[in-house]
Amino acid sequence: MATYTPPIRDMQFVMHELLGVTDALKAMPPHAEIDTDTLNAVLEEGGKFAAEVTFPLNASGDEQGCTLDKSTHEVTAPKGFKEAYAQYVEGGWPALSCDPAYGGQGLPIVLNQCLYEMLNSANQAWTMYPGLTHGAYEALHTHGTDEQKRTYLPKLTSGHWTGTMCLTEPHCGTDLGLLRSKAEPRPDGSYKITGSKIFISSGEHDLAENIVHLVLARLPDAPQGSKGISLFVVPKFLVQPDGSLGARNPVYCTGLEHKMGIHGNATAQISLDGAAGTLVGEPHKGLAAMFVMMNAARLGVGMQSLGLTEVAYQNAVAYAKDRIQMRSLSGPKAPDKPADPIIVHPDVRKMLLTARAYAEGGRALSLHCALLIDRELSHPDEAVRKDAADQVALLTPIVKAFLTDNAWLATSHCLQVYGGHGYIREWGMEQYVRDARINMIYEGTNTIQSLDLLGRKVLADNGAKLKKFGQLIVDFVEEEGVVEAMQEFVNPLADLGDKVTKLTSELGMKAFGNADEVGGAAVDYLRIVGHLVFAYFFARSAKIALEKQGSGDPFYTAKLATARFYFAKLLPETAGLIRTARSGVQPLLAMDEALF
């Protein structure tokens, strides 16, 4: 019973009014000729595909799940998934932002991110098949040999082959230094890979003719720990010199995980029994190569949660406008009916506006980050590329963790709007809650992202990357601080910026004396900085809305109201988070383990 309408208008606002994407692309030679009409046309068509092709398969795919034939190790995706994927390939969507040298369309990443938000709203489980493929493409495009690029990239670009990343093993999760899979050199220069992997999303399916696994394993002379990991490309079917498919490689699905959500995606247990593979990048430096795919996946997971936040919000609003229950405390709002629509009740509005604000803030942040990636990849000025790369490094853990935490809150709120009906499968809302929960766990748990932000991205360079983003806030505050209508946005933004600076210095000093202080404060810290980033984009959005509210377009009225709600009801969360971050690690470590 769920519905979905692609949020094209807000995407256009973020791209054209907030970020000035078209003008920004003019400075990048590969994208200099792209105009606003082209971007809008692709958005419209991508939205149609998501809403009309993959969205109708979301509920049925969740109910059916994937099926493993243990005798053949083959997996069948839910009914309709294969046909939808064929339409996706036929429409050229996998190639949207890929390199033209390998058959790609060469369009900007920022446009591809919009497509993926809509696909994730429509059907996250289905979208994970092409999503992981794009990550495998990125890793091989960056670190593959010329032969590997010729062999794999055209097929990954077209979507005729899909990709995975095979990291996790039964005895190790995030701590990849513990992995045991082995890679033995063979006389022909390839390697024989042996080991077991678990939790491999899209690990086996019937959507494409071949699956390209990127596998982490150890060479015989590998040192212990993460410095002894190498990366290998291991296809399901071996590829002949002429590009045709040859023998079946002994890399098999031995089981499917029975999961809380994303039932339509095959989360596979994979066994490699002497499978043939080739080395990607340098020996023992596989993590560096795999991190290209992992970082792409982390941004992708943020987009998954953004998509779920949006579609949950849309359906909760529709329900709240239709469902009548009780009267408004200030008097009947629908006197012709036996009760008022529940959207009149303040707390229902709070839940709806929370989801809306987290969707709009997440969209602004994720598309800003995507535009930075375009600069990093395509801008002719090396200094601009370096600055963009620094900002992407800072923002990636925030996109992954803050957006996924927010989606868990937002989808839960939206389920609450439905009351008891939200807990019932036929309404569709409980699936969004279940699907959203995994996004906080995989591709590095949100605690890992928080440690990465505070430890590696902030303290490791004495806050240099954070100061770059902070300068954007300082410049905006100086420019808008004298504008009376902007005070309600500028003042709390400036105040939080100052507090983050002080908190960062304080935590750095504590960590110098006890590294565990980073672990005690990191999760709170990421959420504080996430709010700082959101506040910056909401303040900028409010500036535009104030300037255009006289146009009569209700879009700007709603944008301004959402910004005001965010600053009044959501941003104040940072006060408590700052206090708990400052409380230190001692309350967490004081209790003896035996007392737990």
Question: Strand locations in 19-112, DSSP E?
Answer: 67-69, 74-76
Q: What's the Cα-to-Cα distance from 210 to each of 94, 183, 206, 293, rounded to whole Å?
A: 15, 22, 9, 19
Pair 528, 518: CB distance under 8 Å: no
What local confidence, expressed as pLDDT, does residue 173 receive? 72
Quote helix, strand, coil % in the chain, to nearest 5.
65, 15, 25
Mean pLDDT of 35-53: 98
Whether the pLDDT of residue 44 is over 80: the answer is yes
Helix (H) or strand (E) holding 268: strand 267-280
What DSSP state is assigned to residue 527?
H
Count of CB atoms within 10 A of residue 193's CB? 25
What local confidence, expressed as pLDDT, does residue 11 receive? 98
Q: Nearest CA to 444 among 302, 241, 595, 559?
A: 302
What local confidence, expressed as pLDDT, does residue 292 receive? 75
> pLDDT tens across 282-330, in order?
999 888 877 777 777 889 999 999 999 999 999 999 999 999 999 999 9
What local confidence, expressed as pLDDT, does residue 187 receive? 96
> pLDDT tens across 447-486, in order?
999 999 999 999 999 999 999 999 999 999 999 999 999 9
**Helix and strand element counts for the chain (H, E):** 18, 11
How many whole angstroms separate alpha carbon 588 and alpha carbon 424? Answer: 38
Known catalytic residue: 443? yes
Confidence of residue 361 (pLDDT cuts 50, 70, 90): very high
What local confidence, expressed as pLDDT, does residue 423 receive? 97
Backbone angles phi, psi at 278, to 5 degrees: -125, 150
Whether the pLDDT of residue 537 is over 90: the answer is yes
How many whole angstroms separate alpha carbon 232 and alpha carbon 318? Answer: 48
Contacts 24+ apart (CB under 8 A), 466-473: 466/394, 466/500, 466/504, 466/529, 468/387, 468/390, 468/391, 468/394, 469/391, 469/394, 469/395, 469/533, 470/497, 470/500, 470/501, 472/536, 473/497, 473/532, 473/536
At residue 309, the 3 state secondary structure works out as helix
What DSSP state is assigned to residue 491?
H
Largest CA distance in the chain: 84
Whether the pLDDT of residue 176 is over 80: the answer is no
Q: Nearest CA to 401 among 353, 365, 350?
A: 365
Confidence of residue 22 (pLDDT cuts 50, 70, 90): very high
Mean pLDDT of 261-279: 98
How many whole angstroms separate alpha carbon 252 and alpha carbon 203? Answer: 9
Q: Which fold has domain 8-65+79-143?
A: Butyryl-Coa Dehydrogenase, subunit A; domain 1 (1.10.540)
- Give the chain's mean pLDDT: 96
How many whole angstroms separate alpha carbon 85 and alpha carbon 161? Answer: 11
Mean pLDDT of 579-593: 95
What local confidence, expressed as pLDDT, does residue 251 receive? 98
What local confidence, expressed as pLDDT, does residue 289 receive? 79
Q: Which two tokens stand for residue 546?
A: 């104030």
What does the domain layout of the chain look like in residue ranges? 8-65+79-143, 457-587
Catalytic residue (one of 443, 480, 573, 593): 443
> pLDDT tens across 482-507, in order?
999 999 999 999 999 999 999 999 99
What local confidence, expressed as pLDDT, does residue 277 receive? 97
Whether the pLDDT of residue 177 is over 80: the answer is no
pLDDT above 70 coverage of the chain, percent: 100
In one-letter notation, the amino acid at residue 457 is: K
Confidence of residue 225 (pLDDT cuts 50, 70, 90): confident
pLDDT above 90 coverage of the chain, percent: 93
At residue 245, the 3 state secondary structure works out as strand
How many whole angstroms separate alpha carbon 324 and alpha carbon 310? Answer: 23
> pLDDT tens across 511-536, in order?
999 999 999 999 999 999 999 999 99
Q: Nearest CA to 269 among 259, 279, 284, 281?
A: 259
Whether the pLDDT of residue 175 is over 80: the answer is no
Pair 399, 365: CB distance under 8 Å: yes
Q: Which two tokens stand for residue 340?
A: 């008022």
Contacts 24+ apart (CB under 8 A), 151-155: 151/239, 151/243, 152/212, 152/233, 152/235, 152/239, 153/98, 153/99, 153/102, 154/102, 154/103, 155/210, 155/212
List residues bridging with 74 in a β-sheet.
69
Pair 533, 469: CB distance under 8 Å: yes
> pLDDT tens across 558-567, in order?
999 999 999 9
Whether the pLDDT of residue 174 is over 90: the answer is no
> pLDDT tens across 47-80, in order?
999 999 999 999 999 999 999 999 999 999 999 9
